Amino acid sequence: MLLARKGFDTFATMRNLNKSKEIIDVAKKENLPLQVLELDVTDGRSVVDAINNILKGKDSIDVVVNNAGYGLMGSLEDSSLDEIKAQFETNLFGAIRVMQNVLPIMRKQKTGIIVNVSSVAGRLGFPMGSVYVSSKFALEGLSESMSYELKQFGIKMVLIEPGVIKTNFAFIKPKKALDTNSSYSELMNKMQENLFSTIANGTDPKEVATVILRAIADESPEQRYLVGNDALALIDARKNSTDKEFENIIEENLLR
Ligand SMILES: NC(=O)c1ccc[n+]([C@@H]2O[C@H](COP(=O)([O-])OP(=O)(O)OC[C@H]3O[C@@H](n4cnc5c(N)ncnc54)[C@H](OP(=O)(O)O)[C@@H]3O)[C@@H](O)[C@H]2O)c1
């Protein structure tokens, strides 16, 4: 919405168009250059169709924001391989699918910027986050490496690393973790309590949009943008602590 308000021809994509009413109403009311398209990042056909639909009316794609994601929250042991694969299918392979289809277009244009919405969890681990965190670590490594490959074509890569943001972010528990007999129940309950209270006090999602806009507008963007005071404080602590000290910080803050 912010990009459309700033005059970007914007294609807001979603896998379920039944959720599009609000954004379409606002776009109409404000006469914004925004269209809604269906796109499920786990479905290659859907990605290709969405990009083809964009190119029916436009001859370039200048900016891509890979934002789709959810969090599988539970211990590795309680997470089934299918649940882990599904997490990576959305958070990592979803972005890969979109990038592999859009890169030939950007390469021909000799310009473009890809914004991958990672997380502060792309830089540090936390209990019950092993699967989500590893999907974001993978996205970070992928994006960082790609930036070297793409420089020669004038394509920029940016990572957005929010801390806790007040959204409807879906935390999905692995089926096994719903069982109260799970050996990880106590740890899970502590984490859940802490996560829900931190989300209620999370950063306004508008700040994420503002940072994305800043990154896009920058001729020479940073590789990474942290969003939220919590993210800044955590990365600062990470930089200034040994691994052992940082482990204590995480445990004191998340498992108290
Ligand atoms: N909220 C936080 O504290 C936080 C912190 C750091 C990073 N992030 C990251 O920020 C991004 C956005 O999350 P959010 O907090 O804004 O949560 P959100 O409101 O739930 O947004 C995530 C969106 O991803 C969509 N999505 C999920 N699977 C998809 C798929 N297969 N194809 C297309 N779209 C799909 C969801 O669609 P549906 O509505 O259909 O489910 C939802 O609209 C995520 O990558 C998340 O990891 C969030």
Any catalytic annotation for residue 136?
Answer: yes
Catalytic-labelled residue, pool 75, 79, 118, 182: 118
Whats the size of the chain, residue-wise? 256
- pLDDT tens by residue, the chain, 256 residues: 999 999 999 999 999 999 999 999 999 999 999 999 999 999 999 999 999 999 998 999 999 999 999 999 999 999 999 999 999 999 999 999 999 999 999 999 999 999 999 999 999 999 999 999 999 999 999 999 999 999 999 999 999 999 999 999 999 999 999 987 899 999 999 998 888 788 889 999 999 999 999 999 999 999 999 999 999 999 999 999 999 999 999 999 888 7
pTM for this prediction: 0.97
Question: In Å, how far are 74, 105, 107, 185, 233 from 101, measured between CA atoms?
Answer: 32, 8, 11, 41, 36
CB atoms within 10 A of CB 177: 22
Question: In angstroms, rounded to a whole number, what is the distance separating the alpha carbons of residues 155 and 109?
Answer: 9
Which one of 119, 130, 132, 182 is the catalytic residue? Answer: 132
